[in-house]
Chain A
Amino acid sequence: MIVNGVAIDDTFAEAFAMRGTRLIITAHNLAWARTAAVSMTGFATSVIGCGCEAGIEREVPAGETPDGRPGVAVLLFATSSAELGRQVERRVGQCVLTSPTSAVFSGIAEGRPLPLGKNLRYFGDGYQISKVVAGRRYWRVPVMDGEFIAEDTTAMSDAIGGGNFLILAAGTAQALAAAEAAIEAMRAVTGAIMPFPGGVVRSGSKVGSKYKALIASTNHAFCPTLRGGVASELGPDVECVLEIVIDGLTEESVRQSMRAGLRAVCALGAAGGVRRLSAGNYGGKLGKFHFPLRALLP
């Protein structure tokens, strides 16, 4: 299959089950809401080393947030309910509670409850106040700029992690341009995030390693410098490969996000230096969610 001169591999992205939640962070203005959100979703690129994968989903206008202030929606994903709970508590406690004028609310209505302000309230040292409004409990924790408002719990839903595709390009500049175009298009899709730096990962991995201590190692088949030395996936016309990884609250949100990204890359086409699109899969051994690339295009 060739779209606008770009070869689409007959393969699929292999994704796996995760647990996810959405939080709404608000603040006095959008800049401070974003500061809290960026801080909270920092060092959250991969569950392999960060405990969770997180990112900013979208900006939320003041009219849509619970407290009528500008906000940012963030998504967090982890491999287990317990780990997601730990990560939410730690990150909100260290990055949102501490951020000036911030407040945090659940962004998901349905699902199993996950503590949000439930334990963070103890920072109030007994001066915290609970308020139940329209059936939802909020905590008012006194802090030096006023009160930190946190909803008691958020909700946790089954989610999907590891949706992905690989951009094989003629060179670094072309690969970066294609990845940036893809990310811009994908950020318009709600319910999904791209957790890596700028949404893009250059160190795609395979499962396992020659070193027993490692559970993942470089995806050598896609490393241009190993072309000729290993069973490479790369032809002579590819000098740079970048990957985009997607986590989503639903299978459909991952699919929509991948579709938006793939279409944006194909729009650049061969003229933009994009040679092939491929995806990372592990022969169906890693996850039960498969996203065939060719079904998502044109």
Chain B
Amino acid sequence: MSKLVLRLRTAPAFRLDLSALTPERLSGMNAEAVARLELAHGRRRTPVGEWFDVRGAGGERLVIEADGGRLDRIGADMTGGEIRIDGNAGAYLGIGMRGGRIEISGNADAYAACGLAGGTLRIGGNAGDFLGAALPGEHKGMRGGVVIVGGHVGDRAGDHMRRGLILAEGDCGSYCGSRMQGGTLALLGRCGIRPGYSMRRGTLLFMGPPPAPGPSFNDAGELPLGFLVLLARGWKDLPSRFAQIARPSTRVRRWLGDLAFGGMGELIHWPGPGNPA
């Protein structure tokens, strides 16, 4: 499998748009051709070679070695292949992605997995605000695919989310699942205030400490939910701590809401060892 490696040589002064660099767009190109491709840098268009040392050949895999956090729109609209980022990424990581795989060892800035429709995005560090959300003014957030965050997640994760799965191994900020319309967001850590604010449908699954639902959520009490076994079994092949989760029971506590928006969403607290109900 051919591999292209981009090593950041010079930290950009402004945001650098890397949306032109996806495995399918670079397929068949040699290092020189890739170095001549132009990237938007502020108001200017600059060649890749101005910022990166390029080696290898374009194909299935793209490796970006970068410490800076100003590399935006990595993997935008990508449909296949694999991008690995050794370091941190800027905003809009994997925006509009429809297939393939992105793996980042460090942190991702705001709007990662924005409008994600397919594929897998794994963030080893923390994710910024609006993970898996819709762009401002749009009504379609994440609508497919899987996002795994090894660290913490900022505010408004899953805003306008419609389908797909977000697994957060750390804590989640405030208003997670806001305006959610479907899909599943699960977290192992704590969450901030008002989870599920304005959600219509969808599932927020709390596998660590219990949430503190807002006043527009009704307590549905404790009950067993067999579908959680299906859900957890679906994680077993994912590169995440969620894959090892074993719960002795499917008994959960459930809240329905947001009652101001139809009340078809659900907050579920599925306690495990060390996290009693």
- A149 within 8 Å of B (CB atoms): yes
- Any chain A CB within 8 A of the CB of B253? no
Partner of B230, one of A67, A129, A130, A146: A67
Q: Is B193 an interface residue (CB 8 A)?
A: no
Q: Which residues of A contact B214 (CB under 8 A)?
A: none
B163: contacting residue among A129, A132, A134, CB under 8 A:
A132
Give CA–CA (A132, B182) in the complex, Å: 10
Q: Which of B163, B182, B224, B226 has the most CB of A within 10 A?
A: B226
A130 near B182: Cβ-Cβ < 8 Å: yes
Given the contacts A130-B182, A132-B163, A67 and B234 also touching, CB distance less than 8 Å: no
Set of chain B residues within 8 Å of A130, measured between Cβ atoms: 182
Contact count band on B: 10 to 19
- For B264, the chain A residues whose CB sits under 8 A away are 127, 129
B29 CB within 8 Å of chain A = no
Chain A residues within 8 Å of B224, by CB:
146
Q: A138 touches which one: B223, B225, B230, B266 (CB < 8 A)?
A: B230
Contact with B along A116-157 (1 / 0, CB 8 A): 000000000001011111100010100000110100000000
Alpha-carbon gap, A68 to B248, bound state (A): 12
> What are the interface flags for B218-251 relative to A under an 8 Å C-beta threshold, 1 for contact and 0 otherwise?
0000011111011101100100000000000000
Supposing A131-B184, A131-B203, A134-B234 touch, asked if A149 and B163 sit within 8 A by C-beta, the answer is: no
Interface centre among B163, B203, B233, B234 (most CB of A within 10 A): B234
Asked whether A149 lies within 8 Å of B182 as measured between CB atoms, the reply is no
Question: What is the CB-to-nearest-CB distance from B204 to chain A, in angstroms, rounded to a whole number?
Answer: 13
The 8 Å CB contact of A67, one of B163, B226, B266, is B226
Collect the chain B residues with CB atoms within 8 Å of residue A132's CB: 163-164
Interface mask (B259-272 → A, CB under 8 Å = 1, otherwise 0): 00000101000000
CB of A66 within 8 Å of the partner chain: yes
Asked whether B201 is an interface residue with its Cβ less than 8 Å from the other chain, the reply is yes
A168 interface contact, C-beta 8 A: no
CB distance from B53 to the nearest CB of A (A): 38
Shortest A218–chain B CB gap in Å is 48
**Closest residue on chain B to residue A128 by CB atoms:** B264
Q: Which residues, 269 to 287 on A, are CB-close (under 8 Å) to B?
A: none
Q: Identify B234's interface contact among A127, A133, A149, CB under 8 A.
A: A133
B229 A131 Cβ-Cβ under 8 A: no
Q: Which of A129, A133, A149 contacts B226 (CB 8 A)?
A: A149
A/B pair count, beta carbons within 8 Å: 44
- Which residue of B201, B227, B264 has the most chain A CB atoms within 10 A of its CB atom? B227
Q: Are A147 and B230 in contact (CB under 8 A)?
A: no
Q: Which residues does chain A contribute within 8 Å of B227, judged by CB atoms?
A: 67, 131, 138, 140, 147, 149
Q: What chain B residues lie within 8 Å of A67 (beta carbons)?
A: 226-227, 229-230, 233
With a cutoff of 8 Å between Cβ atoms, the chain B residues found around residue A138 in the complex are 227, 230
Given contacts A146-B223, A146-B224, contact A133 B230 (CB under 8 A): yes
Q: A34–B182 Cα gap in the complex (Å)?
A: 34
Query: Of B164, B226, B234, which one neighbours A147 at CB under 8 angstroms?
Result: B226
Chain A residues, Cβ within 8 Å of B223? 146
Contact in complex: A68, B233 (CB < 8 Å):
yes
Given known A127-B264, A131-B203, A133-B234, contact A103–B182 (CB-CB < 8 A)? no
Our pick among A68, A127, A129, A140 for the contact of B229 (Cβ within 8 Å) is A68
A255 within 8 A of partner (CB) = no
Q: In the complex the two chains form, is A129's CB within 8 Å of B201's CB?
A: yes
Give the distance to chain A from B161, nearest Cβ to Cβ, in Å: 13
A146 to B221, CA, bound (A): 13
Q: Is A19 an interface residue (CB 8 A)?
A: no
Chain B residues in 8 Å Cβ range of A129: 201, 203, 264, 266
A131 touches B226 (CB 8 A): no
Residue A22 is within 8 A (CB to CB) of chain B in the complex: no
In the complex, what distance in Å separates the CA atom of A66 from the CA atom of B237? 15
A127 to B220, CA, bound (A): 14
A176-222 residues at the B interface, CB under 8 angstroms: none
Shortest C-beta distance, B222 to chain A (Å), equals 12
A-B contact pairs, 28 of them (CB 8 A): A66-B230, A66-B233, A67-B226, A67-B227, A67-B230, A68-B229, A103-B226, A127-B264, A129-B266, A130-B182, A131-B184, A131-B203, A131-B227, A131-B231, A132-B164, A133-B231, A133-B233, A134-B234, A138-B230, A140-B227, A146-B223, A146-B225, A147-B225, A147-B226, A147-B227, A149-B226, A149-B227, A149-B230
Apart from A133-B234, A134-B234, what 19 extra A-B contacts exist at CB < 8 Å? A67-B226, A67-B227, A67-B230, A68-B229, A69-B226, A103-B226, A131-B227, A132-B164, A133-B231, A133-B233, A138-B227, A138-B230, A140-B227, A146-B225, A146-B226, A147-B225, A147-B226, A149-B227, A149-B230
